[in-house]
Structure formats: C-alpha cells, structure tokens
Chain A
Amino acid sequence: MKYIDEFRDGELAKNLGASIAATVQPGRNYSFMEFCGGHTHAISRYGLSDLLPPTVRMVHGPGCPVCVLPIGRVDLAIKLALEQGVILCTYGDTLRVPASDGLSLMKAKARGGDIRMVYSTIDALQIARDNPQREVVFFAIGFETTTPPTAVAIQQADAEGLKNFSVLCCHVLTPSAISNILESPEVRQWGTVPLDGFIGPAHVSTVIGSRPYEFFAEEYRKPVVIAGFEPLDVMQAILMLVRQVNEGRAEVENEFARAVSRDGNLKAQDRVAEVFELRREFEWRGLSVVPYSALRIRGKYASFDAARRFKLDYRSVPGSKACECGAILRGVKHPQDCKIFGTVCTPENPVGSCMVSSEGACAAHYSYGRYKDMH
C-alpha cells in the first residue's frame, strides 16, 4: 500500500530503535505521554515498546474520544433513542461505551432504540433526508478532528432547511485537556507522574496546527513533538523527544510535517468558529470538570442543537468505584494496576471507558500486550 508501507518499514524501525538506544543517557529515565489514542493504538498494535530501551517509558494519555465521554452524556443519547424515538446516529466505537443501568448504545439498540453507526456526518444527513417524518440526531463526539465535519453538517442542514436533523454536541478540546494534566498535582506538585514531554496529536494537529502547543512548551517547559499515527512516526518522535530532553530544550517540533502546518486548517477552524462556541465547563471521564474544554452550538444554530430541541438536562453520573479509568487517563496508574482489569472489566464487558476502544489504554493493553504481564 503506497504511502502506508513506507511508514511501517520494520528495518527502518530497528534502526530508529538503535538510534534511540544510542541517544538515551545512561542512568536517566525518560517518560513521555502520547496524548492521542491513535498513538496508543500504534504503540500496542506494532509492539513498539519492544523496540525501545527500558529507560524510555510511554504514558498513555486521555486522547481517546470515547474514553473521555462521561456516562451522563451517553445516558442522554440513550434517552433520546429509547424515550423520544429518534434515529440516533453516531461513530463506531461510541456504541460500546458503558452508560447507566448496565446499558450502552449497543444494548439500547437491542431494546428497540433506532441507533445507527455512521462513517461520516454526511451519512447522518442522508438518513435525515430519507426519513423526513422522523427526528434524526447525530451524537457528535471527539476532539478537533471530528468537529469540522459536524460544523459542516449543521451548516448544510441549515442551508437545506432540514428540519428533522439535530446534533447532540459533545466535542472536546485537546489543549485544555493537556493543560489539565500538566496542572494536576501528580505532575506539578508531587511529581508522582514524571512527564518529560509529549507526543502531540496527529489528526487533531492537522486542524489546529502546531501553534497551540507552543504555550505548553514555554509555560511548562515540556517538549512537544507532533507525530503521525504510523509506527515509524512514533519512533521518530520519541527520538526527537529524547534529544530535546538531553539538550535541555523544550520546543514544539513537527515530525508530521507532511500533514501539519503551524497554522493548521484555517478553513476548518473558520467553520468551527461559525457554528460552535466555548462551553464554560465540561465534565470529562477521568479528568472530571475541566473549564473551557468543550464546545457547544451557537445560538444562531440553536434549532440544530438536540440539547435545546429536546430540553435535555445533563446530569453527572459517578462511575464504578473500582474502576481506575480516571487515574489511568491521567497517567497516574497503569491498566494492570486496576483491580478489575482483565477480570470484571474486559473488552466484552467494559466497566470503564478505557476498555472500550482499542485506542483506550486498558483495551490496548488487554488486546495486544497482556502477555507481558506473565513475567
């Protein structure tokens, strides 16, 4: 496969692994957080940690769209499908996220909810056009990568006068989540989570550009290397981070230059700004309430806001007490530190959301790396 195989070359990976091993300084430990679930997935899927020296540790961050979705939001979506009888459309992984009462969207579907998986917002619009007598709600989740397509769908529906389409908006913002982690006492005060740098998001950065990370590099003195989601990208980024740490630099570097510019995709940013505005606060699973960390639909497009149309009130729902997803999302704990990991909580019956998507730290470790715990 052209443009893919080049970034999955095992020989090059070995060379990069050797370069990293030769670059790390003896007696020094390196701890890097890959913010994105896409990177977590690549690390597990290709067994990258086997190619790294033992002194380089990767901490899995909270950038997995379904992992940070709080129970209360999924409850709202289920309520729309089961009580309001809407056609609820959403992206693949979201279907399995555990909600209240042992439900998930998948289970709500079995109870008669008309819940459909779509690959794009365009499919959701088409479903609305094809079913003019039904209310169609797109359950919009994800970071800056999935936000522009939602904005486009709302503007398109507005232009067409599509009256039966609305969006349950749960879009969240990457920079505020990174700040939240850097501000957490584990990182800032106690130092229990050593963080020497970040692998910056791939797809998110194609939209927002590399500029927003400059603040972190400067304010918190943490190097950031934006990297693509292919395994060679990740290896290269780790090498770049090790070099920055060795040289005492804290800069934003862009490994993913083939897709990310400093300013990002201005057209997409404009669309997002036209349709959405900042929420004062938003609850994240794992990070709890984070100020100015999510988007809501502007008043101008209020008629496409499912929360307003169906008068939905958000209610925060506490997760399982035994579940350590929160600590795992903040990098404080490893999946295998959780008592219910692999016993009560498995990909078949996820208790916490980190076990849902193969981007989630727990599911990635369970599905790909469990054999390492044998030793």
Chain B
Amino acid sequence: MVKRGYVRPLDLKHGRGDLTHGSGGRSMVQLISELFAKHLGNEYLGQGNDGAVLPAPTFNSKPGRLVMSTDCHVVSPLFFPGGDIGCLSVHGTVNDVAVMGATPLYLAAGFVLEEGFPLADLARIVESMANAAKEAGVPVVTGDTKVVERGKGDGVFITTTGVGVLPDGLELGGARARPGDVILVSGSLGDHGVAIMSKRENLSFDAPIESDTAALNGLIAAMLATGAGLRCLRDPTRGGLAATLNEIAGQSGVGMMLYEKAIPVKPVVAAACEFLGLAPLYVANEGKLVAICDALDADLVLNAMRAHPLGLEACVIGDVTADDHHFVQLTTAFGGKRIVDWLAGDQLPRIC
C-alpha cells in the first residue's frame, strides 16, 4: 500500500510566497485550495477547470447584452484606511460594469505575487476580496496566480475582469450627454486618494479619513429603477472628477459648467490637499458616482440616490453646456471662471 503523503498545510502566519507557488506544482494547487478556493469558493469556481462554464445571462428572464470590463490594481500601500487592494479590486471592476447600466454577474481574478510576499497578508487580501464579492453579490468564478522573482513586483498586483448583463433598450455612455443636462455626484470627492496618500511611505500624516471604496451596483440599480432619463454614469477614479468630466465632454462634444460651491469635499480632504499642494477635483475616488441626466429628472434621480446609503450626500454640481471646444469650466466660489483641464501627468506639488 502506498502511504498517503502528508501535506503540511500552508503557514498562513509566517509563510511567504515563493516561486513554487506559481510554478504549476503541488504548492500551487495547495495555495489555490487552501487560500483562494477556501475564501472565494462557489459552484462555478468549484468546477476546477481551465475556464468556468456559466449560464447564459438574462435580465428579468429576458436575454440581454453582455458587458465586460477589466481593471489592474497596483495600489501602494496594499492596506490603507478603509480598505485594501483586495476589496478595491472587486469594487473597481464591479463599478466599471455597473456604470454601463449592467447588472454585474461574475468576476475573474488574476494575481501576480512577488516572491517573498507574506502569506498572512495574502490571506487578508483574499478574505477582503471574498467579503467584497459577497456584499456586491458578484462571485469570483475563475482566477490565476503567478509568482515573479523578488524585486520584479511590488508585493501583489491583482487584475479583475467582470461580466454583467445589460437589458435591451438601456443605453448609457459617455457620448450621450446633451446641453441642458445636469451633472450629479453621489457624495464627497477625493476621500480615497487622500486616504492612500496619508499612508505613503515618504509622506505619512494623520488624517482621520478613510477610502470610500465601495461597490456601486446597488446604488446604480436604485437609480435605474426610477426610469429617469440617465445619459451616462461613471466612477471618477484615477484623475478624479476632472478627468471623468473632460472625458465625457470630449466624447459627447459638449462643454460643462461646474459650481465650485456645490462640489462636496470633506474639510479634512480639502485641508490635506491644501498642504500637499493638490486639487481635490483631480484626486481619485473608488466609491463615488458621477451621473449625467436629463434636467427634468434631476430630482427623481437625486431622491433615489439619497435614499441609498452610498448616495446620502448626492447633489447637483453643474450643467452640460453647448461648447465647440468641449471645455469643462468652473465658476469659482470667488465668482470668477476658469477651466478644469485634464491633468498633465501626475499631480505634482508646486514649490512656492
């Protein structure tokens, strides 16, 4: 009789990722079963094949169209106030699918681990992903892990891909904004970016601020249920509100006029931006929504947003205008006007 080999369980307290965890051997299988499958497991992931077999998507039992989106997550630090790379990688992709008007159905997750990465940290990240996926109601159905040599990665990178179903007849998109529409946001801007910056290695400061990272599919479903004339939804992540609105203005061939006084920014975020020499309109968000909608339906949408926990502070921040130059402009709290332009590269602090 052949003795059944004893497999020492993964040391999730002190163990570290090594190259064998990505090489296709037993250690890799062990990492998958003891960590990924344990936390993320569901009937599709459990199929254990190279791909997951999924039922054809339907919306209210009618066939719909597929929406697919993918997002790489390379955030530093990996753990930050209000979240970590795990939940962020779920929220980011769920939101990208949801802002299309689709119901997110499934996620795929790819991990690139750096040799030496503590397994305890990986376990924390995977658990956080599992919780986020559960909360959003979107299972991770397939995944992949690779390990790169020490120095060739930054701890862990996570790529997630999401699939959702979009009912026929619903059209949202960046090219649909029209002059006269209004611009709404679901809450205060810049929380995520400032929370991250407050923990950067070379720049730690104590700001009582947490990342706003959250899945927006519930909020969006509530907005869509009103039947209001929504033109476009976006989550203003990298580049912040400014990048998102410039993108939409360009795609739709319109201009925009924002009202600085109406744009919600928490005092602590405003203060942090002030001393870092940054502008909150350019700082990333991970749980906020920008909506462009027909002016006549603005109240309907606002009420639906404010009735949802993620939209309590929803408000109108500006109008879509006719402008051949597609400028996003701002009426400053001071009463003057200026452009809110794309960012040139990263935001760098001024010297004076």
Contact = CB atoms under 8 A, between A and B. Distances in A.
A274 interface: no
Nearest to A364: B338
Interface residues of A, number: 57
A106 B345 contact: yes
Contacts of A91: 349, 351
Contact of A368 (B261, B331, B339, B349): B339
Interface stretch (B64-72, B228-236, B267-275): B267-275
A66 interface: yes
Contact of B341 (A203, A231, A367): A367
B225 interface: no
Contacts of A141: 351
A359 B270 CA distance: 20
Contact of A47 (B338, B344, B350): B338
A44 interface: yes
A44 B338 contact: yes
A203 B203 CA distance: 23
A50 B351 contact: no
A236 interface: no
Most buried by B among A38, A96, A371: A371
A65 B338 contact: no
Contacts of A254: none
Interface stretch (A19-27, A72-80, A116-124): A116-124
B270 to A, nearest CB: 6
Nearest to A94: B351
Interface in A60-94: 63-66, 91-94
B337 A371 contact: yes
Interface string A122-151: 010000000000000000011101100000
Contact of A231 (B334, B349, B351): B334
Nearest to B324: A374
A45 to B, nearest CB: 7
B48 to A, nearest CB: 42
A134 B202 CA distance: 18
Contacts of A229: 352
Interface in B267-324: 267, 270-271, 274, 276-277
Nearest to A11: B335
Question: For chain B, what secondary structure do more than half of its interface residues adopt (helix, strand, loop), or is it mixed?
Answer: loop
Interface residues of B, number: 29
B348 interface: yes
Given A8-B334, A92-B348, A93-B351, A119 B341 contact: no
Nearest to A123: B202
B4 interface: no
B327 interface: yes
B9 interface: no
Contacts of A116: 202
A292 B103 CA distance: 68
Most buried by A among B327, B334, B339, B341: B334
A217 interface: no
B352 A38 contact: yes
A91 B277 CA distance: 12
A360 B107 CA distance: 46
A346 B352 contact: no
A92 B348 CA distance: 5
B332 interface: yes
Most buried by A among B202, B329, B348: B348
A166 interface: no
A280 interface: no
A118 B203 CA distance: 9
A13 B334 contact: yes
B325 interface: yes
A367 to B, nearest CB: 4
Nearest to A358: B350
A374 B321 CA distance: 15
A10 B202 CA distance: 36
B336 interface: yes
A231 B333 CA distance: 11
A159 interface: no
A48 B339 contact: no
Contacts of B276: 119
A119 B350 CA distance: 10
A66 to B, nearest CB: 7
A47 B335 CA distance: 8
A14 B341 contact: no
Nearest to A229: B352
B338 A10 contact: no
B337 A48 contact: no
Contacts of B271: 1, 4
Contact of A347 (B261, B336, B344): B344
A10 B333 contact: yes
23 contacts: A4-B271, A8-B334, A10-B332, A37-B352, A45-B338, A47-B332, A47-B337, A48-B334, A63-B352, A92-B348, A92-B350, A93-B350, A93-B351, A116-B202, A143-B352, A229-B352, A231-B334, A357-B350, A367-B341, A368-B339, A368-B341, A370-B327, A370-B339
Given A1-B270, A50-B337, A370-B341, 12 more contacts: A4-B271, A45-B338, A46-B336, A93-B349, A93-B351, A119-B349, A142-B352, A348-B344, A348-B345, A367-B341, A370-B327, A371-B329
Interface of B: 202-203, 261, 267, 270-271, 274, 276-277, 325, 327, 329, 331-339, 341, 344-345, 348-352
